[in-house]
Amino acid sequence: AEHVKVCVFYLCVCMCHHPTSCCSVAEIMSVLFFHTMKYRPEEPRNINSDRFVLSKGHAAPVLYAVWAETGYLKESELLNLRKVDSILEGHPVPKQQFVDVATGSLGQGLGAACGMAYTGKYFDKASYSVYCLLGDGEMSEGSVWEAMAFASYYQLDNLVAILDINRLGQSDPAPLQHHVEKYQKRCEAFGWNAIIVDGHSVDELTKVLSQPRHQPTAIVAKTIKGKGIPAVEDKMGWHGKPLPKEMAEGVLKDIQARIINSNKRLYPATPTEDAPPVSLRNVRMPSAPSYKLGEKIATRKAYGMALAKLGRYNEHVVALDGDTKNSTFSELFKNEHPERYVECYIAEQNMVSIAVGCATRDRNVVFASTFATFFTRAYDQLRMAAISESNINLCGSHCGVSIGEDGPSQMGLEDIAMFRAIPTSTVFYPSDGVSTEKAVELAANTKGVCFIRTSRPENTVLYNSNEDFHVGQAKVVYKTNDDHVTVIGAGVTLHEALAAAEMLKKERINIRVIDPFTIKPLDSKTIVEHAKATRGRIITVEDHYYEGGLGEAVCSAVVNETGFNVHRMAVDHVPRSGTPTELLKIFGIDRDAIVQAVRKMLSSSANAK
């Protein structure tokens, strides 16, 4: 490892990006990869191999350097760092086989590592360990401490966090400077075994990393930022800066003289092969939904029932929740499959990271649930999940003003906008029990970030149990041969639209009602086709703020059509407590408001003639 250290160090300086952040961990990385970790370098995603997460993702060059030392990467490839046609991006991304989760937004690596360690210990019951390297600057992120609490609560003794205490952050020293004993105390307070080491001593590192572990372990490594480059060691002002040419050349000459030119290659130890093979293909429901037309059920409850059912026939389906399981109904899954339910407590950022970690290397089909609105605080984790090419399923309950009395702090009114903007996302918005069950099954088999938006009120079942559902396929739920307006609603507003259709019928005004089922992708073909039959007249109505919701999705779907007229109805200011019926009325998204909007649209188009 001593020899590798010098080589790694050399390569980092060659690559010349974030050199100071890399140099402080050259010894740590060398010991981890050539002494401690058991893995197959020729096959980085081998299911039995130890996992490594570089939480301080900006030190990517040091990760690439060790993988060059293993022989997996060509040394010449390192010089293509950050070039547009190279896989070696500025921060770790999973197009690199040796990366399971993207990092670079600080504070998220440990949560993902916890998800992997939980999977290793409790689902795979295998002997691989998980190692996570963090910077001291990122220890200010609350999400790190959410993960610390999770790891000790679940006794993840297969998890090791290495804290690179190099004193400095980007623009300022980290608040605890070099007080390693303070880091140790904090880790201990969170239930970890914390050991202080000299992070530049290969001997000390090999020793502590070989000790048997009975708890999650934090290696508090005191290091020097820029170690090995005398002019910049422990100095402010060098974070993320390439070294000036002359300085780099001088350092390289010096290191080159220290490289022992032996052809000896170090091989990491091979892992124990005890992780079970897993197939996540074709996660299907064995039978059709068992709801009856006209029966009443809240989609949030239908979610829990569907998930429990899916879990009955697919042993790799796991569920996570953040202490809301008797609101989201993930409790129904827990009751049937307690060993596959992970309580994440009130730490939604961490819950999303745990989900991402559990989903790596295709070990589990993960569903995580909480109130739709609480996913907003995990948006950075969600965005990173897309960059991680993660396949996770999220269910957000309690959407919109229709939750009623609890008031605006509990209402999801931004969630559609938020999830639509995630590049790998699919957004399901089922409106009854049957379509909710179908959404759960489809989500389990759809790649990327899937979001299922569920509602609190009980609504009638609209679909026969043999109705076929597809991602991106809308349903026309109400139609005559002579419709005047196409109304598009989802969840409670679809039921309001159907009620409005009955009311309007008495006035001899027919409307067509469409259930989009998925808001992304949106079935523009069906929408355009039916809206043409109503002379381009469309009304959208949604329990969400105007921005980024169903209405805007419909507008962009019909942007190329001429003669179309879209009227949007949505929540336009911060709501309050009240009964669901009162709130739907106040915010103008109930049946009466729809009736009025239809009349108005028809009278203004009559006037235009």
- Which of the ranges 76-84, 101-109, 424-432, 555-563 carries the binding residues for ligand NAG, by CB under 6 A? 555-563
Q: Out of 5, 178, 225, 530, point to the residue binding ligand TPP (CB under 6 A).
A: 225
- Which of the ranges 5-13, 129-137, 186-194, 420-428 carries the binding residues for ligand TPP, by CB under 6 A? 129-137
Residue 570 in tokens: 């949505």
Nearer to ligand TPP, 19 or 289 (CB): 19
Whose CA is closest to 87, among 44, 37, 119? 44
Identify the DSSP state of 407.
-
What is the C-alpha to C-alpha distance for residues 554 and 125, in angstroms, rounded to an integer? 47
- Which of the ranges 28-36, 114-122, 218-226, 553-561 carries the binding residues for ligand NAG, by CB under 6 A? 553-561
How many residues make up the chain in this entry? Answer: 609
Backbone φ/ψ region at 18: left (φ over 0), alpha (ψ -120 to 50), beta: left
Nearer to ligand TPP, 166 or 534 (CB): 166
326 binds, among ligand NAG, ligand TPP, none (CB under 5 to 8 A by kind): ligand NAG
| C-alpha torsion sign, points 563, 569, 570, 575 | positive
Nearer to ligand NAG, 293 or 559 (CB): 559
| Binding residues among 376-395 for ligand TPP as defined by CB under 6 A | none
Q: Out of 4, 9, 13, 21, point to the residue binding ligand TPP (CB under 6 A).
A: 21
524 binds, among ligand TPP, ligand NAG, none (CB under 5 to 8 A by kind): ligand NAG
Q: Annotate each residue in 249-288 with x if it binds ligand TPP (CB under 6 A) or - if it does not, as one string.
A: ----------------------------------------
Phi, psi of 11 (to 5 degrees): -65, -35
Packing angle, helices 142-153 and 109-118, rounded to 10: 20
Closest distance to ligand TPP from the beta carbon of 232 (Å): 12
58 binds, among ligand TPP, ligand NAG, none (CB under 5 to 8 A by kind): ligand TPP
Interface with ligand TPP, residue 135, by CB under 6 A = yes
Residue 573 in tokens: 């200011």
Interface with ligand NAG, residue 559, by CB under 6 A = yes
- Which residues 6+ apart lie within 8 Å of 249 measured at CB? none
Interface with ligand TPP, residue 136, by CB under 6 A = yes
Nearer to ligand NAG, 371 or 469 (CB): 371
Nearer to ligand NAG, 287 or 562 (CB): 562
Query: Is residue 375 a contact partner of residue 414, using CB atoms and an 8 Å limit?
Result: no
Query: Is residue 334 a contact partner of residue 379, using CB atoms and an 8 Å limit?
Result: no
- Which of the ranges 165-173, 284-292, 418-426, 492-500 carries the binding residues for ligand TPP, by CB under 6 A? 165-173
Closest distance to ligand TPP from the beta carbon of 165 (Å): 8
Tell me, yes or no, if 348 is annotated catalytic.
yes
What is the C-alpha to C-alpha distance for residues 120 and 47, in angstroms, rounded to an integer? 10
| Binding residues among 308-367 for ligand NAG as defined by CB under 6 A | 326-327
Q: Annotate each residue in 507-536 with x if it binds ligand NAG (CB under 6 A) or - if it does not, as one string.
A: -----------------x------------
Nearer to ligand TPP, 169 or 412 (CB): 169
How many DSSP H helices and E strands does the chain contain? 22, 19
For 90-134, the DSSP string reads SS--TTSTT-SS---STT-HHHHHHHHHHIIIIIS-----EEEEE
Nearer to ligand TPP, 197 or 471 (CB): 197
Interface with ligand NAG, residue 270, by CB under 6 A = no
Nearer to ligand NAG, 282 or 560 (CB): 560
What is the C-alpha to C-alpha distance for residues 182 and 167, in angstroms, rounded to an integer? 13
Interface with ligand NAG, residue 410, by CB under 6 A = no
Nearer to ligand NAG, 386 or 528 (CB): 528
Closest distance to ligand TPP from the beta carbon of 167 (Å): 8
Partners of 38 in the β-ladder? 269
Q: Out of 46, 48, 49, 105, point to the residue binding ligand TPP (CB under 6 A).
A: 105
Q: State CA 422 to chain mean position distance.
A: 10
What is the C-alpha to C-alpha distance for residues 275 and 360, in angstroms, rounded to an integer? 14
Query: Is residue 310 a contact partner of residue 364, using CB atoms and an 8 Å limit?
Result: no
560 binds, among ligand NAG, ligand TPP, none (CB under 5 to 8 A by kind): ligand NAG
137 binds, among ligand NAG, ligand TPP, none (CB under 5 to 8 A by kind): ligand TPP
Binding residues with ligand TPP: total (CB under 6 A): 20
Query: Is residue 440 a contact partner of residue 478, using CB atoms and an 8 Å limit?
Result: no
What is the C-alpha to C-alpha distance for residues 457 and 599, in angstroms, rounded to an integer? 28
512 binds, among ligand NAG, ligand TPP, none (CB under 5 to 8 A by kind): none
Q: Are strands 425-428 and 518-520 parallel, antiparallel or unpaired?
A: antiparallel
Packing angle, helices 379-387 and 348-359, rounded to 10: 20
Residue with tokens 């906008």: 417
Q: Annotate each residue in 54-83 with x if it binds ligand TPP (CB under 6 A) or - if it does not, as one string.
A: --x-x-------------------------
- Which residues 6+ apart lie within 8 Å of 513 measured at CB? 476, 477, 478, 479, 486, 487, 488, 489, 494, 497, 498, 501
491 binds, among ligand TPP, ligand NAG, none (CB under 5 to 8 A by kind): none
Packing angle, helices 299-313 and 433-444, rounded to 10: 40
Closest distance to ligand NAG from the beta carbon of 397 (Å): 10
Residues with catalytic function = 348
Name the site residues for ligand NAG (rule: CB under 6 A): 326-327, 524, 557, 559-560
Residues near ligand TPP (CB under 6 A) are 21, 24, 56, 58, 104-107, 135-138, 164, 166, 168-170, 174, 225, 239
